[in-house]
Amino acid sequence: MKSALFALAAVAAAAVPLHGHADAAAAAKNPSYVHGDFGPPRGDPIHAVLTAPPHVPAPTMRNYPAKVIVELEVIEKEMPISEGVTYTFWTFGGTVPGSFIRVRQGDTVEFHLRNNPNNKMPHNIDLHGVTGPGGGAASSFTAPGHESQFTFKALNEGLYVYHCATAPVGMHVANGMYGLLLVEPPQGLTPVDHEYYVMQGDFYTTGKYREKGHQPFDMEAAIAEKPTYVVFNGAEGALTGDKALTAKTGETVRLFVGNGGPNLVSSFHVIGEIFDRVQYEGGTHVQENVQTTLIPAGGAAIVEFHTEVPGSYVLVDHSIFRAFNKGALAILKVDGPEDKSIYSGKEVDSVYLGERANPNLAAVTQATKAAASGKLTKEEQIKAGQQLFTGTCSVCHQANGEGLPGVFPPLAKSDFIAADPKRPVQILLRGLTGKVTVNGKDYNSVMPPMSQLNDDEIANILTFVLNSWGNPGGRIEAEDVAKVRAEKPATPAAGH
């Protein structure tokens, strides 16, 4: 398979003459550049196979320019953006990011944009790989229930963002209207073992991060560029747990990484890997041995690396609060034998990932649903709380609740909790500083507020703590938390 492609590439490079003045101009600028055939399309028209993320269409394997028909439908739909949180996305092809389009340099692309009759808004498309007014936007304004068509020649190879450009443009993009178009170089890309499609986006909701239920778009937050969520592939957890990307040791992985924005620039990084090659900005030049690559809003990069050591590799925006507090985190799971000559260690996922390494947040979803219908049991709270405790609290208080001597007080059999089982609500919302005595030992340190947790989550975590490790039992409900949250912050010494 691979050698066939190489042979094909060699034929293409050797046998295809240069055409067109654009090409000649490019050749003059960069004589080492391999050019495509910009002559008329040959053969039967080809219907492009589009893929939903994280999948990428197979290489075109062509050595001649063809007419390629692309059919893309805009669908407005409600989908989860986080555990128990839904959002009305506007999509190209039913997913965020939109369907991946793959053509070859020199192809003539006949583009059909459909706007689903159930949609409420008009839409269009601006493809950054198109040479022409608005990148197609000027020819593709489409009302619900209509279709538009335009044709372009793929002059430049590269990885290009496409997006909706209907006013208010920012809002259409913020709702998820972007995707990637790959224009293969005439000789094709080098074969690899895996190609994946990952695209970052920032989202703006009226509710806080992880506030449950349906969350509308917040225009003011979008203008202020203060996203509630920053995620890969349209949702927190879109590429973790069962949905993680996969590879084996000794394989080569190519990621087509886009950034839809609308606002943020991504500092794209894979924890535990080094990019062997980066086609930065999606262009032709290659940078090697890169730790973190910048991906502008409305830009892309092709990154490649070889996998050596098994384990979980974490894709993040290294503007790191986005990864751990807004959702910009995905996993590549590499299976295979250990190679101790490269890396000795035993892997402890929870150090970096905490709760997000846990593939099973089902208990959390179930508790959210039960709470919404008013039928939440204490047992459901405990189960959900246990999931959330891992990573959120266990980093300091340890998974077994024993804490660390002299640094983090125990939650297990804590006489501090037993003395006032409702006091922890306040501690989680406002933090705790100054001297405290727990089970006869003094601690004089700082616990930061955990106010990023919502009322449900705090109630569930504390119900879990109260019912674990010899603590007195009992139950904290979301209303208890809401009450404390609404109170004026007490003096910092409260609780001592």
Which positions touch Cu ion (CB under 5 A)?
123, 164, 166, 172, 177
Q: How far is the CB of 442 from ligand HEC (least distance, A)?
A: 8
- Distance separating alpha carbons of residues 234 and 93, to the nearest angstrom: 13
Could you say whether residue 416 binds ligand HEC (CB under 6 A)?
yes
Least Cβ distance, residue 428 to ligand HEC (angstroms): 5
Please report which helix (H) or strand (E) contains residue 15, including its range. Answer: helix 2-15
Pick 118 or 325: Cβ nearer ligand HEC: 325
Site for ligand HEC in 340-399 (CB under 6 A): 392-393, 395-397
Structure tokens at 9: 């590439």
The residue among 218 and 456 lying less far from Cu ion, judged by its C-beta, is 218
The whole-angstrom separation of Cα 380 and Cα 459 is 11
Q: Which does 166 bind (CB under 5 to 8 A by kind): Cu ion, ligand HEC, none?
A: Cu ion
Q: Which one among 81, 159, 173, 411 touches ligand HEC, defined by CB under 6 A?
A: 411
Q: How far is the CB of 240 from ligand HEC (least distance, A)?
A: 20
Piece of 98-106, 355-363, 408-416, 479-487 that binds ligand HEC (CB under 6 A): 408-416
Please state the φ and ψ torsions of residue 72, each to the nearest 5 degrees.
-130, 135
Q: Which two tokens stand for residue 156?
A: 């430049």
Token pair, residue 479, equals 């209303």
416 binds, among ligand HEC, Cu ion, none (CB under 5 to 8 A by kind): ligand HEC
Q: Determine how β-strand 194-203 pairs with β-strand 252-261.
A: parallel
Q: Report d(CA 214, CA 206) in Å as an integer.
A: 10
Distance, in Å, from the CA atom of 309 to the CA atom of 318, rounded to the nearest integer, reads 22
CA-nearest of 39, 296, 276, 26 to 159 is 296
Output 259 or 468, the one with its CB closest to ligand HEC: 468
Does the protein bind ligand HEC through residue 428 (CB under 6 A)?
Answer: yes
Look at residue 293 and give the partner it binds from ligand HEC, Cu ion, none, a contact being a CB closer than 5 to 8 Å depending on partner kind: none
Q: Which residue type is seen at 88?
A: T
- Residue 43: exposure state from Cβ atoms within 10 A (0-12, 13-18, ≥19): exposed
As a whole number of angstroms, the distance between CA 442 and CA 419 comes to 16
End-to-end Cα, the chain, rounded Å: 70
Tell me if 126 sits within 8 A of 163, measured CB to CB: yes
The bridge status of strand 441-447 relative to strand 275-279 is unpaired
Among 97, 129, 260, 410, binds ligand HEC (CB under 6 A): 410
Q: Let me know: does 156 contact 186? Beta carbons within 8 Å.
A: no
The binder of 164, among ligand HEC, Cu ion, none, by C-beta within 5 to 8 A per type, is Cu ion
Site for ligand HEC (CB under 6 A): which residue of 427, 429, 466, 478? 427
Q: What is the distance between the alpha carbons of residues 332 and 349, in angstroms, rounded to a whole number? A: 12
As a residue count, the chain comes to 496
Phi-psi region of 162 (alpha: psi -120 to 50; beta: other; left: phi over 0): beta
Is the Cβ of residue 138 or residue 490 nearer to ligand HEC in the bound state?
490
Nearer to ligand HEC, 122 or 421 (CB): 421
293 binds ligand HEC (CB under 6 A): no
Q: Which is nearer to Cu ion, 76 or 184 (CB)?
A: 76
By the rule CB under 6 A, 409 interacts with ligand HEC: yes
381 binds, among ligand HEC, Cu ion, none (CB under 5 to 8 A by kind): none
Q: From CA 242, how far away is CA 333, in angstroms rounded?
A: 10
**Measured from the CB of residue 317, what is the shortest distance to Cu ion in angstroms?**
24
Which DSSP symbol is given to 64? S
Among 433, 452, 475, 480, the residue binding ligand HEC under the rule CB under 6 A is 433
- Closest approach, Cβ 410 to ligand HEC, in A, equals 6
Which C-beta is closer to ligand HEC: that of 377 or that of 451? 451
Residue 434 touches ligand HEC, criterion: CB under 6 A: yes
Between 316 and 411, name the residue whose CB sits nearer to ligand HEC.
411
SS3 479: helix
Q: Helices H, strands E: what count in the chain?
A: 13, 23
Which among ligand HEC, Cu ion, none contacts residue 230 (Cβ within 5 to 8 A by kind)? none
Q: Which does 119 bind (CB under 5 to 8 A by kind): Cu ion, ligand HEC, none?
A: none
Q: Which does 460 bind (CB under 5 to 8 A by kind): ligand HEC, Cu ion, none?
A: none
Residues 458-477 that bind ligand HEC (CB under 6 A): 461, 465
- Comparing CB distances to ligand HEC, the nearer of 93 and 424 is 424
Please list the residues that pair with 255 across neighbouring strands.
Answer: 196, 303
Q: Which residues bind ligand HEC (CB under 6 A)?
A: 392-393, 395-397, 408-411, 414, 416-417, 424, 427-428, 432-434, 436, 438, 443-448, 450, 461, 465
